[in-house]
Amino acid sequence: MLRRYTTLIVAIVALLGVGSATIGDTIVMQHPRVIERVNLMRSSKLALEVLGAMASGREMFNRKRANAARRALMRNTGKIASKFRRNPYDPASRARQHIWTQWADFKAQSKTARAASKGLSTRNVVTLRQTLPPMINACLSCHQTFRKRP
């Protein structure tokens, strides 16, 4: 059971991984809205890493830290659609054009992520392990469809 969660956590970290602001040595993110989106995703990644480390046993469960990570995910997932509403051009962006051509699906997936973040239980490690996979799956699903691979 723990191995299943560890595999999910490794998968989400790999897919959420937001690299540096450069691709290679030449293209640098410049558009402020794209930078805001990347920062939103980085913040979510950090929150998921905290929860994942606790759920997998790599880190001791700390309810206060888990609650803070949950709140960050709820706040961030509530902002996803608004941060992607416009499509500014930035060659370093990893957002696929599918976001804007399939806006209803993208928005639905962001709502699924929001619901999953609200469904996270940080009472104890057992409930965290039970409620973290839907959050991870929501992120994976959206990134597989709407994010270019690094």
Domain regions of the chain by residue span: 2-16+33-84+105-146
Task: Tell me how many degrees the CA angle 102-103-105 measures, rounded to the nearest 5.
Answer: 70
CB 96 within 8 A of CB 42: no
**Which 3 state secondary structure label does DSSP give 1?**
coil
Burial of 129 (0-12, 13-18, 19+ CB in 10 A): buried
* Residue 3: predicted pLDDT: 57
The 10s digit of each residue's pLDDT in 8-42 is 554 554 444 444 344 444 467 788 999 999 999 99
CATH architecture, domain 2-16+33-84+105-146:
Up-down Bundle (1.20)
**Which 3 state secondary structure label does DSSP give 120?**
coil
* Residue 4: predicted pLDDT: 57
Give the number of C-alpha atoms closer than 13 A to the C-alpha of residue 67, restricted to the C-beta side: 5
* Residue 34: predicted pLDDT: 92
* Residue 17: predicted pLDDT: 46
* Residue 18: predicted pLDDT: 42
Backbone angles phi, psi at 122, to 5 degrees: -115, 25
The 10s digit of each residue's pLDDT in 87-137 is 888 888 899 999 999 999 999 999 999 999 999 999 999 999 999 999 999
**Which 3 state secondary structure label does DSSP give 20?**
coil
Q: How confident is the model at residue 58 (pLDDT cuts 50, 70, 90)?
A: very high
Q: Where are the beta strands (DSSP E) in 24-114?
A: 27-28
Percentage of the chain surpassing pLDDT 90? Answer: 73
**Residue 54 pLDDT exceeds 60:** yes
